[in-house]
Amino acid sequence: MIYLDNAGTTKMFEECVEVHKIFSCEQFFNPSALSSESMAVEKLIRDTEQYFLNRLGAREGNILFTGCATESNNLAIKGSLRSGDWEYVFSAGEHPSVFNVAKKLELDGYKVHFVSLNKQGQVDLAELEKVLNKKTRLISIMHVSNETGAINDLEEISKLKDRLCPRSVFHVDGVQGFMKIPFSIRKTSVDLYSFSAHKLHGPKGVAGLYVRNKNNLKELFQGGGQQFGLRSGTENVSGIMQFKKALELIDEVSNFDKVKLLKHKFIETISRESGIVSMDFGGSPYIENLVFLGVKGETMLHALDEKGVIVGLGSACSAKKAGNRVLEVLGVPKDKIISSARISFNAFQTVEEVEKAAEIIVDVYRNIKERVS
Query: What CATH number has the domain bearing residue 224?
Result: 3.40.640.10
- Is 317 in the active site? yes
**pTM score:** 0.95
CA distance 161 to 145: 21
Helix (H) / strand (E) element for 372: namely helix 351-372
Is the domain of 242 the same as that of 256? no
The per-residue pLDDT string of the chain (373 residues; one tens digit each, 9 = 90 and over) reads: 999 999 999 999 999 999 999 999 999 988 899 999 999 999 999 999 999 999 999 999 999 999 999 999 999 999 999 999 999 999 999 999 999 999 999 999 999 999 999 999 999 999 999 999 999 999 999 999 999 999 999 999 999 999 999 999 999 999 999 999 999 999 999 999 999 999 999 999 999 999 999 999 999 888 998 888 889 899 999 999 999 999 999 999 999 999 999 999 999 999 999 999 999 888 999 999 999 999 999 999 999 999 999 999 965 454 455 568 999 998 899 999 999 999 999 999 999 999 999 999 999 999 998 887 6
CA distance 87 to 348: 43
Phi-psi region of 279 (alpha: psi -120 to 50; beta: other; left: phi over 0): beta
Is the domain of 229 the same as that of 256? no
Is the domain of 241 the same as that of 283? no
Amino acid at residue number 300: M
- pLDDT in the model for residue 321: 54
Which of 228, 248, 268 is at the close of a domain?
A: 248
CA distance 322 to 221: 34
Query: What CATH number has the domain bearing residue 275?
Result: 3.90.1150.10
Is the domain of 52 the same as that of 100? yes
* CB atoms near residue 43 (< 10 Å): 11
Of residues 16, 25, 165, 317, which has the active-site annotation? 317
List Cβ<8 Å contacts ≥24 apart for 190-193.
190/154, 190/158, 191/216, 192/76, 192/80, 192/216, 192/217, 193/56, 193/143
Strands (DSSP E) contained in 152-206 are 169-173, 192-196
Is the domain of 263 the same as that of 158? no
Which of 215, 248, 281 is at the close of a domain?
A: 248
Domain holding 137, by residue range, is: 15-248
Whole-angstrom CA distances from 1 to 4, 150, 356, 360, 362 are 10, 28, 11, 12, 17
Report DSSP letters for 282-343, one per residue.
Answer: S--TTEEEEEETTS-HHHHHHHHHHTTEE-BSS-GGGTTSSS-HHHHHTT--HHHHHTEEEE
Give the phi and the psi of residue 124 in degrees, each rounded to 5: -75, 105
Is the domain of 235 the same as that of 275? no
CA distance 217 to 215: 5
> Coil, helix or strand for 266?
helix
Which of 193, 222, 248 is at the close of a domain?
A: 248
Is the domain of 208 the same as that of 271? no
CA distance 315 to 226: 32
CA distance 82 to 78: 9
Residues 6+ apart with CB under 8 A from 367: 303
Is the domain of 259 the same as that of 242? no
> Coil, helix or strand for 207?
strand
- pLDDT in the model for residue 281: 87
Exposure string for 297-314, b = 16+ CB within 10 A, e = fewer = bebbbebbeeeebbbbbb
Taking CA 69 as the corner, what is the angle to CA 67 and CA 74, rounded to the nearest 5 degrees? 95
- pLDDT in the model for residue 318: 47
**Do the strands 192-196 and 207-211 form a parallel or antiparallel pair, or are they unpaired?**
antiparallel
Query: Do 31 and 234 form a contact (C-beta atoms < 8 A)?
Result: yes
Is the domain of 223 the same as that of 295? no
Is the domain of 231 the same as that of 290? no
Number of structural domains the chain divides into: 2
> Coil, helix or strand for 193?
strand
CA distance 8 to 18: 24
Is the domain of 218 the same as that of 271? no
Is the domain of 146 the same as that of 202? yes
